[in-house]
Amino acid sequence: MKYFIIFSIIFLLLSYSLSQDIPIIRIGLFKMDKEMNFTNVGEILNSYIKVEVGGNGNLSLKLDKESAIINFGKDLLILTLPIFFYPQKDKFISVNSMAYRGILEISENEWIINTLNVEDYLMGVLPGEMPSSYPLEALKAQAVSARTYALINFGKHKFFDLCSNVHCQVYKGVNFERERTNIAVKETIGEVITYNGQLIKAYYHSSSGGITENSEDVWGEYYPYLRSVRDVEEINDDTWTVSLSLEKIKMVLNKSNIYIEDIFSIELEKSSTGRVKNVIIKSSDREWKIKGTMWREIFNLRSTLFDIKYNNDGIYLLGKGMGHGVGLSQRGAKFLAEKGYNYREIIKFYYQGVEIEKWY
């Protein structure tokens, strides 16, 4: 039995948006490097044809140069890239058991891209960025921050708008959606954070460790709404400890092309909030200055808010918080919500001099 019929077609991506007023966003999920299984596919389109998929919409697909070999079970179809996959009515397309709203595309550079409206996208973002067990007002503050972040970062990547990991915002699709986080998105639909009528860079992080950071002390850029604020007292308990031997320090730095034969001392240069701006390593005849953000990355630390103590074999790092420390503190938002703050008050607590506006 044939599973498809080929037609010529002109198609519109916007036809799968809940509303044409809601912006459409393209999310790079991953680059395809092996055979993938798709389910609930209703239609397949490229520049030349439309393929209607019957049955339960199951197929497997692998790439060969600039084309895709699609296996429907009894029939094969070879199509040139890019290819677009539309879902069956009232269903979500799945790729290797991961379901997504909107439509999927395999681009010419072999990326699987999810095209959907921003509100549907946020439903797949919130559970990956904030626990769904947090108070609803904290979740709503997160929803508005994440929406603002997405809109101001359209086109951050060359071939799509945002990626699906921590480089942009964690996005996991339908499988990870939760009722409470979806409510937070729906109850704040279209709301964004602005400063002087413009979208802000709505950075956020897990826990400030007691105090948030000024933007210029992390990325070198001053933003009047990203000022350091003293966080709720409960955040002071977010502590961590890491032990590093001198040999491990040398080994890890060598892998980052910083070659140190011996270590004489380690000193810290800090910002006004106590976060490490630079780590200074001195040997008998040389000095190295390593940015605190780089030190955090190469040693996989929770934050740059730490002190050091020496021991016989190396150092202890005694730290607080988790993340870069700029903007909204997610655990802080949780405690503020528990104290009775609404989501607008939470947002204005962490972002200075801002307004919350209906963008669409």
Give the pLDDT confidence score for residue 10 in this predicted structure.
31
Question: What confidence score (pLDDT) does residue 28 get?
Answer: 98
The residue among 299, 347, 333 whose CA lies nearest residue 129 is: 333
Where do the domains of the chain lie?
A: 4-116, 120-209+325-358, 239-320
User: Which pLDDT value is given to residue 17?
Assistant: 44
Tens-digit pLDDT profile for the chain (360 aa)?
333 333 333 334 444 444 458 999 999 999 998 999 999 999 999 998 999 998 889 999 999 988 999 999 888 999 999 999 999 999 999 999 999 999 999 999 999 999 999 999 999 999 999 999 999 999 999 999 999 999 999 999 999 999 999 999 999 999 999 999 999 999 999 999 999 999 999 999 999 999 999 999 999 999 999 999 999 999 999 999 999 998 898 899 888 888 887 767 899 999 999 999 999 998 888 888 999 999 999 999 999 999 999 988 889 999 999 999 999 999 999 999 999 999 999 999 999 999 999 999
Question: So what's the pLDDT on residue 77?
Answer: 93
